[in-house]
A and B are shown apart, each in its own frame.
Chain A
């Protein structure tokens, strides 16, 4: 068959190979270009990403249901097994909490009267949206989760995402019906935090692992394992006092934090609007050097 090929075909063969090689090379260049472009103009790239996650959100929503049902069943069985031990712990804890409740009521009454003395006008309670985690794309290269809410539910970029245990991250991207939360353990996450007891301020940053680090603490700070770390409220992104985690270890000046965030237990989270977005909106964050991404 090869001997009977027409001259045109014989010419076409190397040409086709050339076109194929050229196409491959241009795709390689295109992907390199996208990386550079994504660094130079994050906004355009983010909108492409958002439209893709918007498109797959309904599919992920359905696909994620069986695994959460299964995980719930396993949790229920575990709870059933440990029900006696739990009960004893809860009775003891309830005793302690009742004492605390008494103290809290007294303090509340005192607080109320002091506020009246000062004519203090309390800020409005924050609004929140409850969302389901529909995507938890794992891997060592990025730490984020996808939620089934979006701009149509009132979510905007930069809002805090919390569970009952504390802060888990911030809204990094929001589409019409999907939201990407940058977890506080992500390598790009930066959250102003304080050590609760000593009020030493630092910046909490992730490293894509299970823990986070507290950087830029004042030079002569003494920190010990077990101390609680909360948001400081600096920068106006989050309100002060949201629990983040506890100090797990201090070695060679590196303060490691074990966050309260338990990624494998995330199922329902709250996206909270503290009304702070106006103080540090995304445009100003980008001008300040990409605090958001």
Chain B
């Protein structure tokens, strides 16, 4: 194999960081004011579906360390206690990538069901940790709504991320 030229290596790196960049942008999109009534209370965390998707399809490109850093970034932007989002994204990445054979190459419906199954305990843990740190019970119903909205948005995000993966990473396996 001939050694890669500089531009080829640059191209390679640029493609490798696409998954992390996609999560970063989704976190920023979650923070934009949408000016929709009630949206403020139940706006979804778009990072969770994205972390799930990449942990199934390319777990090597979002390693645990990156999931941790992306979670910290999300905590800083949302205003949740620093470390909670980091732990949730980390556990999600670790848990799903360890079981990625269950989901990889399976039908979309299995992925969707899997996302629902994994996100429920993740949200429960998020709720528990924030309630503990704030030493007050955070209302649970908005958390359920947020969870349902994330489930509802998963097909769209899955489709978008699959397009992105095809566009940026199809040459690299």
Contacts and interface: CB of A to CB of B under 8 A. Distances in A.
Interface of A: 23-24, 27-28, 30-35, 38-39, 45, 48-49, 52-53, 56, 59-60, 63-64, 67-68, 70-71, 133-146, 180, 187-188, 207-210, 263-267
B82 A34 contact: yes
B77 A135 contact: yes
A40 B136 CA distance: 17
Counting chain A CB atoms within 10 Å of each CB, the highest count among B30, B32, B143 belongs to B32
B173 to A, nearest CB: 17
B27 to A, nearest CB: 9
B49 interface: no
B138 interface: yes
Contacts, number: 163
Given A27-B90, A208-B139, A266 B33 contact: yes
Interface in B32-84: 32-45, 64-65, 68, 71-73, 75-84
Interface string B19-34: 0000000001111111
Contacts of B36: 264
Contacts of A49: 75-76, 82
A135 B32 CA distance: 5
Please list the 4 inter-chain residue pairs (A to B) with the smallest Cβ-Cβ separation, ordered nearest first: A138-B43, A34-B83, A140-B142, A136-B33
Given A60-B32, A187-B138, A263 B64 contact: no
A27 B68 contact: yes
Given A49-B76, A133-B33, A146-B31, A30 B138 contact: no
Contact of A38 (B39, B40, B82, B126): B82
B40 A138 contact: yes
Interface string B83-117: 11011001100100000000000000000000000
A8 to B, nearest CB: 23
A33 B87 CA distance: 10
B146 interface: yes
Q: Considering residues A52, A136, A138, which has the most beta carbons from chain B within 10 angstroms of its beta carbon?
A: A138
B130 interface: yes
A146 B33 CA distance: 10
B134 A31 contact: no
A210 B80 CA distance: 18
A60 B31 contact: yes
A24 B16 CA distance: 21
B129 interface: yes
Given A38-B81, A208-B138, A209-B41, A265 B35 contact: yes
A60 B78 CA distance: 13
B31 A32 contact: no
Nearest to B65: A27
Interface string B136-154: 1011001101100000000
Nearest to B83: A34
A87 to B, nearest CB: 25
Contact of B139 (A27, A34, A146, A207): A207
A138 B42 contact: yes
Nearest to B93: A24
